[in-house]
């Protein structure tokens, strides 16, 4: 009884720590110099995407989010921002329930999300070449 109580307390504390760490990382990443950092990124080629493709993408992601669970929406937002940190994804998963193995659970959650995205893309009638 006592052990279970202590384990639950530790899990809650770890979830809080992961969330706080994620907020700190976001503040560092999206602080006052965020605009300059974005300009310095080598793969920041969003300017090469034509306007039609950008509009179709945004429409797709808007419709996609309507079909996703809250945890999936948050993971999708991380993926769209390019944040690949396992800890950031684990913090999201911890908010919605316990996780046994951080790396495995994050990997599985992302894989499920990607499969669901493909299914929804086909269901909504979007072509892959329209989104790339």
Domain that holds residue 25: 2-131
Which pTM value belongs to this model? 0.58
Higher pLDDT, 36 or 101: 101
Give the model's pLDDT for residue 43. Answer: 47
**For the chain, the helix, strand and coil percentages under 3-state DSSP, each to the nearest 5:** 80, 0, 20
Residue 49: pLDDT band with limits 50, 70, 90: low
Which of the residue ranges 23-27, 90-94, 118-122 would you say has the lowest mean pLDDT?
A: 23-27
Predicted local confidence at residue 44, as pLDDT: 44
Is the pLDDT confidence value at 88 over 50?
yes
Q: Provide the domain count of the chain.
A: 1
pLDDT of 63 over the 70 cut? yes
């Amino acid at each position: 009884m006592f052990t279970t109580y202590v384990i639950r307390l530790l899990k809650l504390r770890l979830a809080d720590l992961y969330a706080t760490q994620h907020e700190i990382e976001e503040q560092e990443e999206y602080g006052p110099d965020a605009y300059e950092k974005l300009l310095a990124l080598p793969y920041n080629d969003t300017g090469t995407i034509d306007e039609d493709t950008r509009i179709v993408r945004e429409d797709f992601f808007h419709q996609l989010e309507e079909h996703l669970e809250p945890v999936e929406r948050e993971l999708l937002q991380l993926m769209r921002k390019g944040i690949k940190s396992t800890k950031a994804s684990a913090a999201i998963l911890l908010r919605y329930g316990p996780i046994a193995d951080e790396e495995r659970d994050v990997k599985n959650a992302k894989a499920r999300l990607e499969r669901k995205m493909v299914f929804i893309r086909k269901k909504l009638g979007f072509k892959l070449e329209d989104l790339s």
